Amino acid sequence: MKKILITRKLIKESEDKASQTFDPIFNTNDELYSQSKVIEMSKGCNGILTSLTDKMDKETINKLPDTIKIISNFAVGFGNIDLDAAKQKGIAVTNTPEVLSDATAEIGILLILGACRRASEGIVSAQEGGWKWSADYLIGKQLTGARLGILGMGRIGQKIAKIAKSLGMIIHYHNRSKLSEEKELGATYHDSIKSLFSVSDVLSICCPATKETENMINKETVEFFPKGAVITNVARGDIVDDEALIDALNRRKIYAAGLDVYKNEPNLNPGYNKIKSVFILPHLGSATKDTRIAMANLAIDNIDEFFKTGNCKNKVN
């Protein structure tokens, strides 16, 4: 039976599955392991089930014992892992696509609604009490008829588009390649981010974090948007230059922002806290019980498939 290090605590159903499939080392206290501790604890193991909180950079991977043959990431993203370093060391890296798309798309819609309808300000006002209704009290932006730009029309982007369309939004998107008409569902394709941003009353960021997408929202690109646009991010914090977005919000070039992800999580750039029109969540994209169990189970299945066949359909390197 293969010995597996599981770096973070899983929901019981998934830990039971791991025990039936492998000889697992569990993180019973859900401690955030340092890189050196991951290296130490992985001695004698054949694989590691990591999460996004584990920084598996080149230095860490090179120090892993030679017995480690697979890193199964408990996430659809894998920006926390140096794929090239893993490949050079003969370590397969896998992710958990598809199973979290519905839950993450729901949060994507929540960000759009929360930012457009000034939910953060409304919550504070309701909690403080004493608010008085007036015709212009907490006036927000209506979604019906608004143009939604989707940056990255993959599984999550397509699901957000489908829900947003049912709310009366007009869908535009930019992707590495144009989708088939069947997948587009009437959305308009843009071959550049400048073209997309220029028609986006609301933007939903759904693309992967890569070298090409890092700081894609920056001092230059925020100027492409219509004045008073809304920017939301359900993908990865690295895609947004925080200082540029904060400046645009303060200048009212950008009306509001909805962020489930941000750089240096869980430490939010303090500039956001000074802006009432920012709707912030603590990375809740996949945070439903069913989804987290499905993700962990898939991460376990990825390891099992790899050791049984020598490959895995969810291998990313």
Q: Note whether 167 and 147 are within 8 A (CB).
A: no
Q: Please identify which of the residues 8, 117, 174, 236 carries the catalytic annotation.
A: 236
Q: Is 214 one of the annotated active-site residues of the chain?
A: no
Query: Which of 232, 237, 182 has the alpha carbon at shortest distance from 202?
Result: 232
- Alpha-carbon separation of residue 119 from 97, 141, 229, 290 (angstroms): 30, 11, 16, 27
Which residues face 50 on adjacent strands? 73
Q: Collect all residues with Cβ–Cβ distance below 8 Å to 183 and sequence separation of at least 6.
A: 153, 158
Q: Note whether 238 and 79 are within 8 A (CB).
A: yes
- Alpha-carbon separation of residue 166 from 46, 159, 171, 185, 304 (angstroms): 47, 11, 11, 11, 40
**What does the block give as tokens for 284?**
């809740």
**What does the block give as tokens for 51?**
């999460």
Query: Which of 61, 143, 145, 160 has the alpha carbon at shortest distance from 109?
Result: 160
Q: Is 283 one of the annotated active-site residues of the chain?
A: yes
Tell me the C-alpha distance between 243 and 252, whole Å: 14
Q: Please identify which of the residues 121, 184, 223, 283 carries the catalytic annotation.
A: 283
Q: Collect all residues with Cβ–Cβ distance below 8 Å to 254 and sequence separation of at least 6.
A: 222, 225, 228, 229, 230, 231, 245, 248
Q: Label residue 152 exposed, middle or buried (CB < 10 Å: 0-12, 13-18, 19+).
A: buried
Q: Collect all residues with Cβ–Cβ distance below 8 Å to 110 and sequence separation of at least 6.
A: 258, 281
**What does the block give as tokens for 258?**
């909805």
Tell me the C-alpha distance between 99 and 97, whole Å: 6
Which residues are known catalytic residues?
236, 265, 283
